[in-house]
Structure 1
Amino acid sequence: MTNPQSSCDPLAESRVPLYGPQFQRKSADLYAEMRRAHGPVAPVLLDGDVPAWLVLGYREVQYVVSNPEIFGRDSRRWNAWDRIPPDWPLLPLIGYQPTMMFAEGAEHRRRAEALDDALADVDQFALRAQAQQVADRLIDTFAGAGEADLITQYADGVPLPVVARMIGVPDVETADLVREVNKTHAAGEGANDAYTRVREKVRRLVESKRENPARDVTSRLLAHPATLADEEITEDLLHLMNAGQLPTAYWIGNTLRLMLTDDRFAMTLSGGRQSVGQALNEVLWEDTPTQNFPGRFAVRDLRLGDRQIRKGDLLILGLAAANHDPLVRPDPQTSIGNQAYMSFSYGEHRCPYAAQEIAKVIAEAAIEVLLDRLPDVVLTVPADALTWRPSPLFRGLSALPVKFTPGLVVL
């Protein structure tokens, strides 16, 4: 029997599934295979065999994100909504939301500039101290045991409490908010209810800061000349929390893996202050936390990388693949020291520069505190036994089991 989708899709037989266990191996090898087979723009299938394009080439990704008038961000432009069920797993990422992430043109610029300005005023010395506090508290929970999983017990727990305090969440409410956000990320039973509760907490936060402003991101957004509505601020703060948690947690975990498995870093683990920054930068090139980002939507019919793109087609930004594009990076080792990676995207919808710096401060503080507190930490499994979460969009370890000399709890 003929698949009806195949009969109307001439590329159906050549489309590569962008899901499944293949993402638990070295992703760079997978993207290299796709580039050899399909060139800089590959036909792919998302969950449920929904067709899309994966943009693999560095120059092609740069072109897409630099031309918002041709490649829109508003997902209501998508031509495949009639195929999407209400429980589709990628709906939280692709389904339209009234955040600045899906806004276009002047509306996006208005909201993005307000957030940029609010984040740029964050005191990075205070931010580092807060990240160190959170890191110390987490280490206290396992320091006496002599062993831990540095993903679930540490890296996953650092970013969100710091971001919550940065936006002005009272300390007494932070733990509850973190629990609820983690439920939404787990995407299991009760995730939707948890998201509703998180949204209500953020809405109340915005309301309280309008009455009693303080020195925090929420208050600065409320006072910004862009005159954002409370609803706009609520939505953008929700996006900030989600964007600040998962990629930063994975950045911490992937960097710890590198430093524990690569002799260039492992031999200076006891006090390798200079190595932490180098490791963070290398991870953004080699194992960037955000691998593929959906997406952009063709505003009209066009050609890209010798492919015919139809109006409304979805393009997935292959950020990790672009970082490994041999046309712009023929010798991988010579580029690791620079910051021309696509890990934070590019163009007007990139991760704000201030947000990038905030993520780096949090990640660097988390790693340095761990190395100070547990200077003899080592893996308890072979490096090649470590497994990655099977996500086509993000690159993060399932676990990072370690042992160390049991240490004192900081009181």
Structure 2
Amino acid sequence: MTPERHAPTGTGDPLLEPPPGCPAHGLGPGGLHRLYEADDLDELYEQLRERHGPVAPALLHDDVPIWVVLGHAENLHLVSTPAQFCRDSRIWTPLNEGMVKPDHPLMPHIAWQPICSHAEGDEHKRLRGAVTGAMSTINFRELRRHIKRYTQRLVNRFCEEGRADLVGQFAEHLPMGVMCHLLGMPEEFNDRMVEAARDTLKGTETAIASHAYVMDALARLTARRRAQPQDDIAGHLVNHPAGLTDDEVREHLRVVLLAGYEATVNLISNVLRVVLTDPGFRAQLSGGQMTVPEAVEQSLWDEPPFSTVFAYFAKQETELGGQRIRKGDGLLFGIAPGNVDPRIRPDLAAGMQGNRSHLAFGGGPHECPGQDIGRAIADAGIDALLMRLPDVQLACAEDELSWRSSIASRHLVELPVRFEPKPQQEVTQEPSHAPAPPQPAAAWHVGTREQPQPQSPPAQSRPQPVPPVAAAATQPQPVPEPPRPLGAWQRFLRWWRGY
């Protein structure tokens, strides 16, 4: 007898025929939905929720069975209970039974690797401790200053043209520039590195070569930091008491770079799209009813950078969301469907300002350690962009926008915009929509505007009385005091934003 095909239904339902109106190609063995064939995954998740509840059976490519966790509470239980669920795919029954082939499209997401996001126990503590320790050294005030300067450089590339693609010319470049700086390889940030990262994540025909390009850069960085440690993430990983090998350092640099890059690209793109297409949202942002950080947090609820995470695996037989989960079953961490669980969000139109209980950054032992970096890049970058281009408008109809979608994420392809052409600005200048006069380097001061120097009178002319204000303006020093000191709240905001 052939062994029984592994299927995670556990519901006792008989094999079902395709329901009326449902295309047959969307169903597989047992009447289960094939996630990879869905035209609209959000709609499919709601159908699964209505039919099965907060945990539903489905199929991956090659009809590999998987549980999709749809409920908010169930997702939190999944990621926060390491005694029952882990990230180690080596215990996955379909993999061990040969159902998941080496060339399976999702293998890059599923295959076990010796990195902290797949490890458990003491090994997880050792590897993750090194990563979080390295990230804890980041000075966020300095980080925001770098984010604004990278934003200035990027906007200077297109500000005089009056048109741009804010995905391809901004969102896909800003995170890479900042991440290269944080890791310790600012000299590697260029268009080729951005293209290599995009290519690697898309899985194109040249993805292997692009991945090799990224890994070669990280290998060189690791070798440099072994020889000469610096105060950056790579340097702290190399010197951490956990004693990471060169391979471990390089692999964790890869995880930080690529995962942080893709998530932040999607986050920036999503926030900018809503700003440009939702007049009410933009009015709240422009009118002060909503801050940029609050807009970012709202986007993390409505359009998380990753829709699902592959995958968690049951270490023992258990129950989740009313379903019987067997040892070795795989479960998708359902970020997008969990964020719209009607039990916690009965009205999706209601704002979620001040609420950070979304699932966008995971939870439990494998919660994203770089979430504050992603928030900072999005907050400061979007704020600086809108300061430079306050009149920016969408340059196409909203229904002409397109996405590149997968089970894991939904990536906006382009975001064409138009605006009145603007002059370039010094990258060290605070982003502003008002043109600033040129400033001599020796007389430049943070937070002050150089006063124009009066023309010297002719040698034979009689000197005229100079008003006190004008006389003060002719002197580069001292810097005039502001007429009114900033209050405590204004000083805190300036410090937080890196001014």
Please say whether Structure 1 and Structure 2 have the same fold, judged by a TM-score greater than 0.5. Answer: yes
Between 173-182 and 184-193, the greater mean CA deviation after superposition:
173-182
Partner of 2:412: 397
Partner of 2:220: 204
Q: 2:367 aligns with which of 350, 356, 360?
A: 350
CA contact (8 A) 2:184 2:232 kept: yes
* Residues 268 and 75 of structure 1: CA distance in aligned 2, closer, same or farther (over 3 Å): same
CA contact (8 A) 2:38 2:44 kept: no
CA contact (8 A) 2:67 2:331 kept: yes
Q: 1:55 aligns with which of 63, 69, 74?
A: 69
For structure 1, the residue ranges without an aligned partner over 5 or more in a row are none
Q: Deviations over 1:163-204 (max 9, x none)?
A: 1110111x3322244343233123112211221232232122
User: Partner amino acid for 2:159?
Assistant: A
1:315 Cα deviation (Å)?
Answer: 0.4
1:310 Cα deviation (Å)?
Answer: 2.2
State how far apart, in whole Å, the 1-side matches of 2:319 and 2:284 are. Answer: 49
State how far apart, in whole Å, the 2-side matches of 1:361 and 1:325 are. Answer: 27
Q: Deviations over 1:209-257 (max 9, x none)?
A: 1210111011112222222222211111110111101111110010011
Between 247-256 and 109-118, the greater mean CA deviation after superposition:
109-118
1:283 Cα deviation (Å)?
Answer: 0.6
Partner of 1:13: 30
Partner of 2:80: 66
TM, length-normalised to structure 2: 0.76
CA contact (8 A) 2:301 2:339 kept: yes
Between 214-223 and 387-396, the greater mean CA deviation after superposition:
387-396
* Residues 304 and 158 of structure 1: CA distance in aligned 2, closer, same or farther (over 3 Å): same
1:363 Cα deviation (Å)?
Answer: 0.7
Partner of 1:329: 345
Q: Deviations over 1:127-164 (max 9, x none)?
A: 11222222222222222222222112211111112111
State how far apart, in whole Å, the 2-side matches of 1:172 and 1:334 are. Answer: 41
Partner of 1:287: 303
RMSD: 2.3
User: Partner amino acid for 1:163?
Assistant: M
CA contact (8 A) 1:271 1:371 kept: no
Q: Deviations over 1:297-356 (max 9, x none)?
A: 11122222222222211100001111111223334426443111111111001102xx11
Partner secondary structure for residue 128 of structure 2:
helix
* Residues 335 and 7 of structure 1: CA distance in aligned 2, closer, same or farther (over 3 Å): closer
State how far apart, in whole Å, the 2-side matches of 1:273 and 1:209 are. Answer: 46
Q: Deviations over 1:266-290 (max 9, x none)?
A: 2366686943122101111111111
State how far apart, in whole Å, the 1-side matches of 2:184 and 2:164 are. Answer: 31
User: Partner amino acid for 1:322?
Assistant: G
User: Partner amino acid for 2:77?
Assistant: Y
State how far apart, in whole Å, the 2-side matches of 1:139 and 1:118 are. Answer: 30
* Residues 113 and 93 of structure 1: CA distance in aligned 2, closer, same or farther (over 3 Å): same
Between 66-75 and 393-402, the greater mean CA deviation after superposition:
393-402
Higher relative contact order (CA 8 A, sep 6+): 1
The structure that is helix-richer by fraction is 1
Structure 1 residue 338 corresponds to structure 2 residue 355: yes
Identical aligned pairs, as a percentage?
A: 38
Aligned length: 402
Structure 1 residue 302 corresponds to structure 2 residue 302: no
Q: 1:409 aligns with which of 408, 424, 429?
A: 424
State how far apart, in whole Å, the 2-side matches of 1:380 and 1:253 are. Answer: 15
CA contact (8 A) 2:267 2:304 kept: yes
For structure 2, the residue ranges without an aligned partner over 5 or more in a row are 16-28, 427-499
Partner of 1:318: 334
1:7 Cα deviation (Å)?
Answer: 9.8
CA contact (8 A) 2:188 2:217 kept: no
User: Bigger radius of gyration, 1 or 2?
Assistant: 2
Aligned pairs for 1:53-202 within 5 A: 53-81=67-95, 82-169=98-185, 171-175=186-190, 176-202=192-218
State how far apart, in whole Å, the 2-side matches of 1:7 and 1:236 are. Answer: 34
User: Partner amino acid for 1:395?
Assistant: R
CA contact (8 A) 1:271 1:375 kept: no
Partner of 1:381: 396
1:263 Cα deviation (Å)?
Answer: 2.4
1:399 Cα deviation (Å)?
Answer: 1.9
Partner secondary structure for residue 328 of structure 1:
coil
Partner of 1:35: 49
State how far apart, in whole Å, the 1-side matches of 2:180 and 2:264 are. Answer: 14
